[in-house]
Amino acid sequence: MVKLASSKKGLNINYRPLQASISIEVVTSVPDRQFYSATDNSFTPDYTLTPLTLFPRCAAVDAELTSAAKSVNSALTNMKWYERIGGVQKLISSGTDYVITETGEKKGQIQVKKNSSITSPITLEFSADYVDTRTNQVLTYRDSRVIIVSDSSAPQPVLTIDSPDTVQWYPVRDVLQQTITAKLMAGNRDITDDDRVNFWWYRVLSTGALEEIVDGNGDNDWEVVSVDRNVLVIDRDFIGEEQTYVCKAAYRETGDLPTSPDTYDQSATTRIVRYIPRLECDFKGVITGCPAGTSCIYPQGYVRDSKGVISNPEEWFRFVWMGKKPGATSYTQVGEGMNPTIAFVEGMLLELEIEDKGPQALIVDDDDSNIYITDEDGVPSYQRLYEKTY
């Protein structure tokens, strides 16, 4: 056979050019707008005490793909922040007034630790490059943010609560009840008890919606011990695995107080998470060499955490005893409880496991109608969420 002709072509991937996308985001709850009161020469918020944190989220977008944009902050080059005041631009470096994150996924994040001005507000200008290593395409990112300061005849109120953003609650050692107290400050003046202030408390539902806690007698208020104006008391054993609470407050110097908060009114949030640390379990009351004629053994289980042996562990944990007979290929359950009676088999292996019984949960009808069961006095019945009933 005679070859008459041939053709050769080199095949390569044709990468589509990427598009730059940038947005400067406010990190944490400190806003990028300040209020200045000439009455007491105060800023709210005062960035010298609670810095403003901004993050320039840089992404490389393939416009023809539906997948999420790829964040490229960690690979930025020529990254710079500038401060512009009254038309004068100055390169920013980390120091007393600013702190810039130089590496990692948060590269470019800046903490602002100086206050702006009504007449000459601070403009922060960001610039950086990103090189697409596939094509050597250089994407340039530029964005800016003006820190506006508004004059106020009276200091703007600031709401705080005495519960951190996130609370890890260890039910075995920590107290069940938590009191969350809100405080509203106008400059250096505490206006919490002022008649011109209203407070509202909410729980965050799984959908993200807010459900108001009015008097502790609502359909979902099982964990609420009491709610009184700026103080919420909860029993954390009834919050499930976690629960977030939001407090809102409104202050009106003149006029009527609103029946519900406006969007510009102050709010504060705390998230309470049920937390079980690393635990150890062991047992005693059993010797390796049992006397002849032994038919049953009576082990005694116990649990330890970093503070020592836990008293009354069956309140929180289920003790499961697993045994393996000689010749068997796997373990099977041979007992349950802290002090079980277990049938003895010569040569057997015994293992203790503990399981978290979980938080308190309402007992509902078997038909999943979500109608909870009560006693003769109308008090709801509870059991732990993962507790087995036999």
Tens of pLDDT, residue by residue over 261-271, are 988 889 999 99
CA distances from 47 to 88, 96, 156, 242, 249 (A): 21, 12, 15, 32, 22
Same domain for 221 and 166:
yes
What is the helix (H) or strand (E) element at residue 5, kind and residue range?
none
User: What pLDDT, on a 0 to 100 scale, did the predictor assign at position 31?
Assistant: 92
At 33, list the tokens: 């707008």
Same domain for 164 and 78:
no
Q: What is the mean pLDDT of residues 105-132?
A: 94
Domain that residue 221 falls in? 157-274
Same domain for 116 and 147:
yes
Classify residue 252: in a domain, yes or no: yes
Same domain for 265 and 308:
no
Residue 268 is part of a domain; what is its CATH number? 2.60.40.10
Residue 122 · residue 116 · CB < 8 Å: yes
Classify residue 206: in a domain, yes or no: yes
Does residue 123 or residue 347 have the better pLDDT? Answer: 123
Q: What is the mean pLDDT of residues 370-383?
A: 53
User: What pLDDT, on a 0 to 100 scale, did the predictor assign at position 202?
Assistant: 96
Q: What is d(CA 73, CA 70) in angstroms, rounded to the nearest whole number?
A: 9
Contacts made by residues 175-180, CB under 8 angstroms, sequence distance 24+? 176/235, 176/236, 176/237, 177/225, 177/233, 177/234, 177/235, 177/236, 178/233, 178/234, 178/236, 178/272, 179/231, 179/232, 179/233, 180/231, 180/232, 180/233, 180/234, 180/245, 180/247, 180/270
Reply yes or no on whether the pLDDT at 367 is more than 60: no
Average pLDDT, the chain: 86
Classify residue 361: in a domain, yes or no: no
User: What pLDDT, on a 0 to 100 scale, did the predictor assign at position 389?
Assistant: 47
Q: What is d(CA 320, CA 337) in angstroms, rounded to the nearest whole number?
A: 7
pLDDT in tens, 43-96: 999 999 999 999 999 988 775 664 556 789 999 999 999 999 998 999 999 999
Classify residue 50: in a domain, yes or no: yes
Classify residue 308: in a domain, yes or no: yes
Residue 110 is part of a domain; what is its CATH number? 2.60.40.1930
Percent of the chain clearing pLDDT 70 (strictly above)? 84
Same domain for 143 and 191:
no
- Provide the domain count of the chain: 3
Among 244, 274, 304, identify where a domain stops: 274
Classify residue 1: in a domain, yes or no: no
Lowest mean pLDDT of 92-101, 138-147, 377-386, name the range: 377-386
Same domain for 268 and 176:
yes
Reply yes or no on whether the pLDDT at 213 is more than 60: yes
Classify residue 372: in a domain, yes or no: no
Same domain for 147 and 107:
yes
pLDDT in tens, 132-182: 887 888 999 999 999 999 887 666 789 999 999 999 999 999 999 999 999
Same domain for 93 and 27:
yes
Same domain for 262 and 290:
no
